[in-house]
């Protein structure tokens, strides 16, 4: 595989301010891509872009509410305007804040979860696909789903519903746009050591060591960089025959 396959390629990463999104943005920049970091967390998002630039890469930060269509369209336009098109996109923005089962789920909380975790992927795919079609050179998109897309955790009804939806959107979009040279896949992370996971464990009064043992056959949490490597591969020529696929990066959790 050409070592420079990502060099100069325009890449959009939503949720790029921290956690998996930041690791993904840094990894693509490290491979030579030019990156638009899209997020609501302005200080952290700008920091991600600054880290890329300080390391000799190209990046800009775009303030983006991923649940708002106009904001997502503006983020895609920022990539097109800055870098002449869009080659890759990784839709990583997500939230998780639940405490109880569906009978205790507030309507507004369900709506918010679906808006940020699922509507955002719909909006992102729509505008990313449009940009790729306009450029006429194909592309690759990776959505961050979850092991919850296949195996729900307790007390996460809205999150689980949203991640089932991400899997469905991934497959439906792959079916429709493969003929245009656009590949669409998703990653289903297991227990990855991010602020969102740590906050969830603390919110539920859990023990990190117990959770790591329960979620992983390897007895540890995954690192965000391990998800970033998977995203890189799914956009690379090495995965050129892969589309509509859900790649579990979960230390064997779904196999248990």
Task: Tell me which residues are annotated as active site.
Answer: 159
Check if the beta carbon of residue 35 is closer than 8 Å to that of residue 61.
no
Closest CA to 184 of 194, 198, 169: 169
Check if the beta carbon of residue 27 is closer than 8 Å to that of residue 224.
no
Tell me whether residue 104 is exposed, middle or buried, using C-beta atoms within 10 angstroms of its C-beta: 0 to 12, 13 to 18, 19 or more: exposed
Check if the beta carbon of residue 74 is closer than 8 Å to that of residue 50.
no
CA–CA distance, 254 with 256 (Å, rounded to integer): 6
CA–CA distance, 63 with 53 (Å, rounded to integer): 18
């Amino acid at each position: 595989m050409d070592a420079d396959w990502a060099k100069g390629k325009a890449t959009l990463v939503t949720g790029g301010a921290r956690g998996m999104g930041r690791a993904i943005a840094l990894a693509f920049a490290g491979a030579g891509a030019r990156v638009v970091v899209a997020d609501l967390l302005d200080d952290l998002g700008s920091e991600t872009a600054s880290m890329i630039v300080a390391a000799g890469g190209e990046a800009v930060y775009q303030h983006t509410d991923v649940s708002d269509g106009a904001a997502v369209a503006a983020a895609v336009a920022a990539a097109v305007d800055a870098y002449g098109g869009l080659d890759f996109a990784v839709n990583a923005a997500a939230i998780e804040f639940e405490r109880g089962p569906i009978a205790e789920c507030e309507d507004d909380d369900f709506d918010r979860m679906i808006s940020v975790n699922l509507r955002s992927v719909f909006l992102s795919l729509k505008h990313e696909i449009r940009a790729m079609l306009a450029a006429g050179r194909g592309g690759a998109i990776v959505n961050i789903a979850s092991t919850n897309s296949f195996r729900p955790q307790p007390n996460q009804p809205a999150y689980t519903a949203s991640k089932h939806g991400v899997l469905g959107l991934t497959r439906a979009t792959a079916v429709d746009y493969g003929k245009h040279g656009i590949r669409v896949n998703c990653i289903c992370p297991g227990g990855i050591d991010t602020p969102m996971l740590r906050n969830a464990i603390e919110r539920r009064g859990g023990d990190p060591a117990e959770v790591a043992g329960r979620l992983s056959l390897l007895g540890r949490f995954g690192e965000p960089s391990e998800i970033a490597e998977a995203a890189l591969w799914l956009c690379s020529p090495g995965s050129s025959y892969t589309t509509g696929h859900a790649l579990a990066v979960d230390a064997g959790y779904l196999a248990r």
